[in-house]
Amino acid sequence: GENVEQHPSTLSVQEGDSAVIKCTYSDSASNYFPWYKQELGKGPQLIIDIRSNVGEKKDQRIAVTLNKTAKHFSLHITETQPEDSAVYFCAALSGNTPLVFGKGTRLSVIA
């Protein structure tokens, strides 16, 4: 089955700097890759997603890139703000199989 690895597990950046979180997946048939942000005591909130027919997608300060050949995808947050501090999860989906999540990255933005 699908296996998703996520790195780093923790990340600290200064306010205004960029943050990059990377994920790799194992199933070449995976075709949908969402990123979720989870704040303490809350459920995961979708922040951006990408499908396998697209290499990059951007939404204001957030961007995701996908390299299907290497089977990895990355989340980029620019001009980080303290409210970006949270745990971020990547996930991968292949056809009718369950969404498989990485173990998460705890991002701390230091003011």
Partner 1 sequence: DTGVSQDPRHKITKRGQNVTFRCDPISEHNRLYWYRQTLGQGPEFLTYFQNEAQLEKSRLLSDRFSAERPKGSFSTLEIQRTEQGDSAMYLCASSQGLGETQYFGPGTRLLVL
Q: Which is nearer to partner 1, 73 or 104 (CB)?
A: 104
Residue 25 · residue 7 · CB < 8 Å: no
Is residue 36 within the footprint of partner 1 (CB under 8 A)?
yes
Q: Which is nearer to partner 1, 36 or 63 (CB)?
A: 36
Longest dimension (CA), the chain: 43
Is residue 95 within the footprint of partner 1 (CB under 8 A)?
yes
Residue 89 · residue 106 · CB < 8 Å: no
Q: Which is nearer to partner 1, 46 or 110 (CB)?
A: 46
Is residue 43 within the footprint of partner 1 (CB under 8 A)?
yes
Is the omega angle on the peptide bond into residue 8 within 30 degrees of 0, that is, cis? yes
Query: Minimal distance in Å, beta carbon 92 to partner 1?
Result: 11
Q: Which of 56-65's residues contact partners 24+ apart within 8 Å by CB, and which partners?
A: 62/35, 64/33, 64/35
Stretch of 53-61, 69-77, 78-86, 98-106 contacting partner 1, by CB under 8 A: 98-106
Is residue 93 within the footprint of partner 1 (CB under 8 A)?
yes
